[in-house]
Each structure stands twice: as C-alpha cells, then as structure tokens.
Amino acid sequence: MTQSNTQARNLLYLFDKPAQPIFRPKGLNSQVNFEVPASFYIDRYKSVINQPQTRFNIQDVIPVKEISPPNILIAESLDKRSNFSVFNSFHSECATNLIKAFMDAKNVDDFLSTCVYAQQRVNPYLFIYALSVAILHRKDTKNVPLPSHVCSFPELYIDGTILSRVREVGSIFEPGTQEPIEIPMNLTASDLDVEHRLAYFREDIGINLHHWHWHLIYPTSGSMEIVNKDRRGELFYYMHQQIIARYNIERFSNYLPRVGKFHFYQPIPEGYFPKLDSIIASRVYPARQANTVLLDINREADQLFVRVDELVRWYDRIYEAIQRRSVLRGTDLIPLEESNGIDILGNLVESSILSINRDFYGNLHNQGHNMLSFIHDPDNRHLETYGVIGDNTTAMRDPVFYRWHTTINDIFEEYKRTLTPYTVQQVKFLLLLLLLLLLLLLLL
C-alpha cells in the first residue's frame, strides 16, 4: 500500500469516538497540548488517555503533516454541544465552510491534517457530516470505505436502554458467547396507537441510514462540483416518491389507509415519542403530542425565524409556477419543459444552491422540517432542542415525515399532470423490451 493510500485509510480513525478525539503532539515525551495547530500525532489506542507523561511506541501513532491552519471560523461558530441539522440554514452554512476546507486540501496528507485540526474545534455531528461528504467527493479518497454512521453515533438509531444493555453484556461476556439482544416491537409506543403498526419500517436502522447517506451524496449547499450533479432535483423527487410508495404498501399490508397529506393550518393527528438520546447535546429528543398545530418559529439561539404564512406563500408560488409552466427569475420566465422541468422544481422545492430563485420561492422543504421539529417549543421558552424530524438521520422515524413528503410529492405530481402523454415513439424501446421479456417467458 502506498503512503498516500495509507494516509487515506488513516482518515477512518477520525470516525472512532468523534466526541472524544485523542491527539498527541509530535514530541513523544512532551506535555499533551490540545491546542497544537499543526504538527501532531493521532493515537490509535485508548490506553494513554489523560496520561500526558506516558511513553508510547512510535508504531502506536500516526504522523500528521504540518500545515497552515485552515479557515474554519464559520464552522467553529456552531456550539460543540448542540445538535446539528442540514435543514437549518445556519448549520448548513457551517457545513459548507468545513467541507470547503476539506475539499481545498491539495492532497491526502493535507486533508488528514485539516481533518485533525478541525476535529477538536467543531461540533462532532458537523465534523462527521462534513468529513463524510468530503471523503465521498474527493478524487483521492474514492477508495476509502466510509464507516457506517451507526458506528459513530449509535444513539441516533438505537434506544439508550438497549445500548446500555449492549455495553453491559459486552463488558461481562467474551466475544461470541453473548446472547442476542432483541429490540422489542413496542419500544416507542403500544398497540393503542394504530400508527405504531408501522414502527418496524419507520425505525428500521437501514432505512434511516439510507436517508442520511442520500443527503451526503446530494447536499443542498457547498461547492458546485459537489452539489451540481446530473438530474439532482429530479432525484430528490424520485427518491422520496419511492419511499412514500413503499410506505403506503406497508400501510396497506397492515390494514391502514394511504398516508394523508400535511395541512398547514390543521392539527397533526399523529404524535411521536422517539425514545432517543442526543449524547453530544446531553438531551433527549423531545416528543410531539398528537393533534399539535404548526406555529411560527422564533428561536434566536438556532438562528431560525420562519412563519407559517411564509411556508404557505412559498407553496402557493410554486403551484402558480406549475400552472404557468414557468419559473420567475427576476423579470425572466424560465420554462418548465418536459426535459428539465421536474429537475428545476426539485432544486426549487429543496432550495439547494441550484434553486433558480430562492428569494422568491423560499425554502419550503427544509423550513417545513424545521417548523415541524420545533412544534413543541417554537419560541425556545423551554430551551428544548429539535425533534427527530429536524435531523436527516432520524427524520424517517416520525409519522409526520410521511405526511410532509406526501404534500411535497403532490407538487411534483401536479407538474407531471401538466405534461402531454408519451408518444409511441417515446415508449417504443420500452414496448420492445416488454415484448422480448414476454418471448423469454414463453420460451422458459
């Protein structure tokens, strides 16, 4: 393995316990200095934590190249003990700043040094998000296997009581001798809540990891080389549309009707009590009572100010653009053509940096998530953090996620209804393919 590949693999150590990074200065016998700005070592092991005078073998450390400190002042402005959400514009700005610093590193050695420098200075959730995005998009880290997010922050996927049991069993029994630890079906609710029939789907670790990973591949902000991917807006629609379709199939299988739309001024029928902890923020994820109503958000601590009527205004403007088959950009009208219309709408609804007119059409999708996530404490009088729908890691656990995205999905369906039907010429290839499949079945 080349030196470059070795250093790229060393990036994986940064995913281990990101809340408690272990650094060592270059001098093996020197006092540990957690403010060393450039040249230091990362200890691979945990035995020397809080032992600054301990001698350790040179093979136990990873050398890091000395660099000039990167400009991550914006990223550092996010409190290290707060939660992180890509839906929050301020948090997204912090992520953009940190991702830029990671992407600007000239080579893997500089990248590793920049990451080590940032790890002690920025919010751990933000750090892992930005590091993951950078590893996925840098050309020199294409072959670095990205660790599962559940390994870095298991508390975002598994109830704290289950994790405590896992740690207890792991400390008592030898590997391979432990009995399996089952996560009970009735963990977050009882059968009195009919929506709990779908808990196995919503709270599945794999599907929530998928949602996290999709937003790593398609972030809303950052450099154009990261955000501006082919058919990005269309894929935003398609991915969520497929999730809603699968969710409805699961509902039918459990004798439940199709998921209803979200209505801006009507109570939300479902409540949700997530039973999850945010260890970094030292808070539990707050619950949402049934029949709560969307309220204006005025939270200075989160730099979040948005009104319900703003959401409705953005929604109406997008619908107006669909009926007009064109989007306003200044005094110009950009046509929503069949070839690119749904892609333009996708970036408009999600309000990515590719949005044609963010000032006019707003930030419908993300601010909807934000407002729903603070519905329990809209003015921060109780100093509560956001609910699970405010985090793309946990959002799919909440039943209101599917109501909100049914409403978002209907925007795209309305646009598709304005399109003319496919011609025979357009579907000729598909018809030929179906004919070949039919012949193949007959031959078998």
Q: What is the mean pLDDT of the chain?
A: 85
Q: How confident is the model at residue 136 (pLDDT cuts 50, 70, 90)?
A: very high
Confidence (pLDDT) at 26: 39
Confidence (pLDDT) at 282: 67
**Alpha-carbon span 399 to 288, nearest angstrom:** 11
pLDDT in tens, 146-187: 888 988 888 899 888 888 887 777 777 776 677 777 777 888
Q: 23 has which bridge partners?
A: 42
- 249 pLDDT exceeds 90? yes
Tokens of residue 277, six digits: 């902890």
pLDDT in tens, 36-49: 333 333 333 333 33
pLDDT in tens, 109-132: 899 999 989 988 999 999 999 999
- 34 pLDDT exceeds 80? no
Quick one: what percent of the chain has pLDDT higher than 90? Answer: 61
Confidence (pLDDT) at 331: 87
Question: Cα-Cα-Cα-Cα dihedral of 193, 198, 203, 206, to 10°?
Answer: 180
- 246 pLDDT exceeds 70? yes
Question: Which single residue is written with the structure tokens 């420098």?
Answer: 117
- 292 pLDDT exceeds 80? yes
Q: Using DSSP bridges, classify how beta strands 23-25 and 40-43 pair: parallel, antiparallel or unpaired.
A: antiparallel
Confidence (pLDDT) at 32: 30
Residues of the chain with CATH 1.20.1370.10: 3-146
Confidence (pLDDT) at 81: 87
- 430 pLDDT exceeds 70? yes
Confidence (pLDDT) at 242: 96
Report the range of poorest mean pLDDT among 1-15, 228-242, 429-443.
Answer: 1-15
**How many residues would you count in the chain?**
444
Confidence (pLDDT) at 354: 93
Q: How confident is the model at residue 327 (pLDDT cuts 50, 70, 90)?
A: very high
CA 416, distance to chain mean position in Å, is 28
Q: What is the pTM of this model?
A: 0.86
Confidence (pLDDT) at 88: 94
The CATH number given to 3-146 is: 1.20.1370.10
Confidence (pLDDT) at 48: 30
Q: How confident is the model at residue 96 (pLDDT cuts 50, 70, 90)?
A: very high
CB 292 within 8 A of CB 266: no
Decide which of 160 and 418 is more confident: 418
- 58 pLDDT exceeds 60? no
Can 338 be counted among the known catalytic residues? no
Catalytic option among 195, 350, 384, 414: 350
Q: How confident is the model at residue 51 (pLDDT cuts 50, 70, 90)?
A: very low
The sign of the dihedral angle between the CA atoms of 29, 34, 38, 41 is: positive
Confidence (pLDDT) at 320: 96
Fold of 194-417: di-copper center containing domain from catechol oxidase (1.10.1280)
Question: Which single residue is written with the structure tokens 């010429």?
Answer: 425
Residues of the chain with CATH 1.10.1280.10: 194-417
Confidence (pLDDT) at 3: 58
> Within 13 Å and on the Cβ side, how many CA atoms surround 199?
22
Confidence (pLDDT) at 269: 95
pLDDT in tens, 335-389: 999 889 999 999 999 999 999 999 999 999 999 999 999 999 999 999 899 999 9
- 206 pLDDT exceeds 50? yes
Report the range of poorest mean pLDDT among 11-20, 289-298, 343-352, 413-422.
Answer: 11-20
Q: Average pLDDT for residues 24-38, to the nearest whole number?
A: 34
Q: 326 has which bridge partners?
A: 335
Confidence (pLDDT) at 44: 34
